[in-house]
């Protein structure tokens, strides 16, 4: 019975509005830099015509004469242990404790109207895939003066054609030529923000070698730390050579005590 009494007070008192959940999709660069997005949300808002009372302007809801404003009806149930007093939701007022004799013409007595407002949300730099941004008070309207619910925005990040993410580090592969790998080279590495960083790789660099550019990764949302930019070089072998290039490589192979390639029709001759 105590539970029913608490429930009655809860039904009659202010109630917070429902929370809402939406999903949005952003690019890898937007997750890196942060972005402001405008989204449409379908939600119940307080009726401006009746100010949430549900009654026609100039009138007011009246106390329910069935439950006397409690929203609950008391009953007696006979059991083998004797009579037990019970409470149930009043069907006359649906637990509100009030009857609206003249409903609002706009909301038809609901006290709320369905709308689709556009809301701006700031997505912070460094947000990760499936993380959520919360906007307080942007959910459904409350009842009887209750607070509005909240809006939960879950972020989906599109896959990038070049970059991937590992923690707060940005990862990518950078193709280099045989001569760049052998002699060393200054590489222009594209950053996520659109800038470029010059990085010197040493001579004799092997394919699969990783290099790190410090503090060029994602910002941490919860601290001042910044991840790194880590790129892996991939040595690409040319598929076609000019006559001059082939001769030069053949001479190079001789100086390195290598046998020049011998053309064969098949593996067995």
Determine the Cα–Cα distance for residues 60 and 108; give it in Å rounded to an integer.
Answer: 14
The predicted pLDDT at position 5 comes to 43
**Mean pLDDT of all residues in the chain?**
87
Which of the listed residues 117, 140, 157 is the one where a domain comes to its end?
157
Q: Are 152 and 137 in contact (CB under 8 A)?
A: no
The residues, ordered by sequence, that sit 6+ positions from 30 with a Cβ below 8 Å of its Cβ are 123
- In this prediction, residues 215-244 reach a mean pLDDT of 91
Residues 151 and 170 occupy one common structural domain: no
Determine the Cα–Cα distance for residues 36 and 20; give it in Å rounded to an integer.
Answer: 19
Residues 197 and 139 occupy one common structural domain: no
Residues 116 and 147 occupy one common structural domain: yes
Mean pLDDT is lowest, of 5-19, 53-67, 100-114, 212-226, for 5-19
Residues 135 and 241 occupy one common structural domain: no
> Which residues make beta-bridge pairs with 35?
123
Residues 152 and 175 occupy one common structural domain: no
The residues, ordered by sequence, that sit 6+ positions from 74 with a Cβ below 8 Å of its Cβ are 85, 86, 87
Condensed to tens digits (0 to 9), the pLDDT of residues 1-52 reads 344 444 444 556 788 999 999 999 999 999 999 999 999 999 999 999 998 8
Domain count, the chain: 2
Mean pLDDT is lowest, of 43-52, 77-86, 90-99, 180-189, for 77-86
The predicted pLDDT at position 269 comes to 42
CATH of the domain at 46: 2.10.230.10
The predicted pLDDT at position 75 comes to 80
Q: Are 8 and 134 in contact (CB under 8 A)?
A: no
Condensed to tens digits (0 to 9), the pLDDT of residues 138-167 reads 999 988 778 999 999 999 999 999 999 999
Determine the Cα–Cα distance for residues 76 and 92; give it in Å rounded to an integer.
Answer: 19
Residues 169 and 146 occupy one common structural domain: no
In this prediction, residue 237 has a pLDDT band, given cuts at 50, 70 and 90, of: confident
Residues 134 and 170 occupy one common structural domain: no
Residues 172 and 152 occupy one common structural domain: no
Backbone φ and ψ of 253, nearest 5°: -60, -35
Q: How many CA atoms lie within 13 A of 26 on its CB side?
A: 28
CATH of the domain at 171: 2.60.260.20
Residues 128 and 146 occupy one common structural domain: yes
Mean pLDDT is lowest, of 86-90, 171-175, 217-221, for 86-90
Which of the listed residues 107, 124, 157 is the one where a domain comes to its end?
157
In a domain, 264, yes or no: no
Determine the Cα–Cα distance for residues 155 and 30; give it in Å rounded to an integer.
Answer: 11
In a domain, 268, yes or no: no
Residues 130 and 174 occupy one common structural domain: no
How far from 157 is each of 5, 24, 27, 126, 247, CA to CA, in Å?
48, 9, 6, 11, 49
Residues 206 and 150 occupy one common structural domain: no
Q: Which domain holds residue 172?
A: 164-255
Q: Which residue has better confidence, 255 or 134?
A: 134
Residues 170 and 151 occupy one common structural domain: no
DSSP per residue, 104-141: -TTTTTSSEEEE--EEEEEEPTT--TT-EEEETT-SS-
Select, from the ranges 18-27, 105-114, 245-254, the one with the highest average predicted confidence (pLDDT). 18-27
Which of the listed residues 119, 139, 157 is the one where a domain comes to its end?
157
How far from 91 is each of 13, 77, 86, 88, CA to CA, in Å?
18, 18, 15, 9
Q: Are 122 and 131 in contact (CB under 8 A)?
A: no
- In this prediction, residues 50-77 reach a mean pLDDT of 87
């Amino acid at each position: 019975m105590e539970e029913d009494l608490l429930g009655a007070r809860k039904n009659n008192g202010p109630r917070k509005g429902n929370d809402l959940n939406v999903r949005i999709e952003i690019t890898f660069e937007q997750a890196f830099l942060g972005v402001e997005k405008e989204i449409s949300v379908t939600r119940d808002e307080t009726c401006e015509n009746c100010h949430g009372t549900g009654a026609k302007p100039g009138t007011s809801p009246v106390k329910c004469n069935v439950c006397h404003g409690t929203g609950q009806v008391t009953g007696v149930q006979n059991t083998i242990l004797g009579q037990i007093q019970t409470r149930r939701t009043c069907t006359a007022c649906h637990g509100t404790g009030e009857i609206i004799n003249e409903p609002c013409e706009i909301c038809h007595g609901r006290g709320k109207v369905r709308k689709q407002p556009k809301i701006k949300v700031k997505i912070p730099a460094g947000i990760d895939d499936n993380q959520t941004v919360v906007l307080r008070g942007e959910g459904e309207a409350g009842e009887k003066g209750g607070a509005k619910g909240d809006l939960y925005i879950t972020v989906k990040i599109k896959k990038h054609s070049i970059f991937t993410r590992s923690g707060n580090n940005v990862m990518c592969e950078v193709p280099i030529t045989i001569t760049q790998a052998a002699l060393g080279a200054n590489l222009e590495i594209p950053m996520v923000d659109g800038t470029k960083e010059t990085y010197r790789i040493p001579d004799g660099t092997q394919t699969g070698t990783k290099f790190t550019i410090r503090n060029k990764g994602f910002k941490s949302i919860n601290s001042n730390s910044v991840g790194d930019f880590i790129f892996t070089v991939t040595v690409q072998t040319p598929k076609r050579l000019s006559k001059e290039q082939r001769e030069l490589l053949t001479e190079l192979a001789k100086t390195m005590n290598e046998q020049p390639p011998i053309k064969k029709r098949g593996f067995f001759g």
